[in-house]
Structure 1
Amino acid sequence: MFADCFNTHAQELHERIKANHKIYIPEGKGPFPVVIAFPGCSGVSLNGQETDAGRPGDEADRLFRRHYSRMAIRLQEASYMVLLVDYLTSESISNTCGWEIHPKRVGEYVSDAISFVRTIPNSDLTRINVIGWSHGGEGVLAWLDKLEQEARGVKSAIAVYPGCSSIKPWKTSLPVLMILGEADDIALPDICNTLVQSLPNKTNVFVRSYPNARHGFDLTEGPTVLPVGKNLNIGRNQKAGDNAWNEIFNFLENN
């Protein structure tokens, strides 16, 4: 009975990913290394103007929803095949900044997306990487938390300004890059730093922190400071964003 329920649940996630994703294929001849990407709590625009805006009048939603597709294109131009997963639409939710979708649930999407990518032609199944921003980054860490053994073919995981409040120390030795903004007042870096300090010795985590970097500091448009309510702010920092992307590419190339 338990196995039947588990298989049904896995199939449900698989179908939701199948219906709510976009694949970015590089030019040239494959197979291509893969990056599976998970957006933050505002979701992602996969259909241009139809889904760019997010919540009416919410400039942060608009900035973030456009951001992840642009980052997917950046990875594609660097010869990575990208599977961008729209887990919010899968759950019929337009925004999960109030944790309408728990990071553990996002972690389930990570696990199933790794299985799903094995069905995509020209994907290099020996070089799969996972990246998540903000709420998606916390979902990636939640996936690590539940990982009981090394995931076949997965080479690395990256969490960009993730929340860490729901995450327990993981045990896998999979290389992990955690990118933090020291001025982030939404995903507090101190919580992530405390988590990293509590990890077992066999874990393999690299932390990069950037001064004067707010939540969303790698945005390619928008102001340097944008209030989002409750005395919280996001904001672009081009220098920190450029440095973070150099770190991401170096990390992907070396793992």
Structure 2
Amino acid sequence: MRLRLTALFLMLLMSAAHAAPAPQQVDIPLSSGILHAQLYKPEGEGPFPTVIALHGCGGLGNHSESVLPRYRDWALQLLKAGNAVLLPDSYGSRELGPQCRVKEMHVKARRERVADIAASRAWLMKQSWVARDRVSLIGWANGASALLWAVRPQSAAREAGPDFRAAIAFYPDCRISAGLGWSARVPTLVLIGANDDVSSPPACRQMVDGARGRSALTRIVVYPGAYHDFDRANTPLHAAAGTTDAAAPEHGHLGTDAEARAESQKEVAEWLAR
């Protein structure tokens, strides 16, 4: 009986390993060092549509995992749909841990993280397996805020090659962008929960509404009853202030919303397929 259970356990492990391919680490040159990134790539020679995925303030991975489950789940879903997925590690590459509760951040969304996005794009443009006209951006929280800076007309890439195909921002902090009269040069989708008290749904609505008529296509979806991290699986709703988790914001509430999570997966697939 024990041998049978052991064999079954090994079969399940093998099945899980087959279903969840391990990413490959790649090193991307920066003007001041190396940007480490994790790459999920479909089998074959391509060219593949490719998504640059930008982690939040908690970082991309930890000591035991190069990619946290919340980002791995999305990467595998995008991979299953035929996309390559590149996940730059903006904090780990600079030997930094989570930045959610750091008062003076050394890696800023509008500066270093925008530079990481540009470096990632430049690296992808040199890869033979990349469909160069189908490179898109997706980001969460701080990574989504970086995305908003990166798609502004003022941040247009200087290197040769097609611009980003599309951009998707999960619950960014829109307050500064809204005040600056933000606009986008590529189609940009903002996804946020109506009850998000970490970011600001009204500021995101103001930002998107203000861009109409002087921007590429922009759209916002506000999910009723959903909070920050609504797309993160298996996360009971809880107050961030009640935890000592350095990878969580200092205030607000976090938690899965099954309906918003499912709807956002459809929105992402449709926006990338445009």
Q: What is the SS of the residue equivalent to 1:37?
A: strand
Retained in 1: the 8 A contact 2:53–2:138?
Answer: yes
2:125 to 101, 104, 118: 118
CA distance in 1, matches of 2:87, 2:128: 16
CA distance in 2, matches of 1:45, 1:149: 28
Shift of 1:172: 3.9
Q: What is the SS of the residue equivalent to 2:151?
A: helix
Does residue 109 (structure 1) correspond to residue 125 (structure 2)? The answer is no
Structure whose residues are more often helix by fraction: 1
Shift of 1:51: 5.4
1:16 to 34, 44, 55: 34
CA distance in 2, matches of 1:209, 1:141: 17
Map residues 85-234 of structure 1 onto 2, 5 A cutoff: 85-97=88-100, 98=102, 100=105, 101-105=107-111, 106-145=113-152, 146-148=154-156, 152-167=162-177, 168-199=180-211, 201-203=213-215, 204-223=217-236, 225-229=237-241, 231-234=251-254
Q: What is the SS of the residue equivalent to 1:158?
A: strand
Retained in 2: the 8 A contact 1:44–1:69?
Answer: no
Q: What is the SS of the residue equivalent to 2:264?
A: helix
Shift of 1:28: 4.3
Query: Paired residue for 2:61?
Result: 45
Shift of 1:226: 1.8
Query: Paired residue for 2:83?
Result: 80
Shift of 1:11: 5.2
Q: Note the residue ranges of structure 2 that are not aligned, 5 or more in a row.
A: 1-27, 242-249
The letter for the 2-side match of 1:113 is S
The 1:39–1:149 alpha-carbon spacing in structure 2 relative to 1, beyond 3 Å, is: closer
Q: Note the residue ranges of structure 1 that are not aligned, 5 or more in a row.
A: 1-9, 53-64
Query: Paired residue for 1:7?
Result: none
Q: What is the SS of the residue equivalent to 1:169?
A: coil
CA distance in 2, matches of 1:94, 1:177: 29
CA distance in 2, matches of 1:200, 1:162: 18
Q: What is the SS of the residue equivalent to 2:49?
A: strand
CA deviation string 1:155-178 (max 9, x = no partner): 111111111123233444411011
The letter for the 1-side match of 2:211 is L
The letter for the 2-side match of 1:216 is D
Q: What is the SS of the residue equivalent to 1:174?
A: coil
Between the two proteins, what is the percent identity of the paired residues?
A: 25
* Further displaced range: 73-82 or 194-203: 194-203
TM, length-normalised to structure 1: 0.82
Query: Paired residue for 1:6?
Result: none
CA distance in 2, matches of 1:249, 1:198: 26
* Further displaced range: 204-213 or 103-112: 103-112
CA distance in 2, matches of 1:143, 1:71: 21
Shift of 1:148: 4.2
The 1:14–1:212 alpha-carbon spacing in structure 2 relative to 1, beyond 3 Å, is: farther
* Further displaced range: 83-92 or 233-242: 83-92
TM, length-normalised to structure 2: 0.76
CA distance in 2, matches of 1:25, 1:14: 27
Retained in 2: the 8 A contact 1:141–1:159?
Answer: yes
Shift of 1:153: 3.8
2:72 to 62, 69, 72: 69
Q: What is the SS of the residue equivalent to 2:227?
A: coil
Retained in 2: the 8 A contact 1:147–1:172?
Answer: no
Aligned residues: CA RMSD: 2.3
Retained in 2: the 8 A contact 1:155–1:174?
Answer: yes
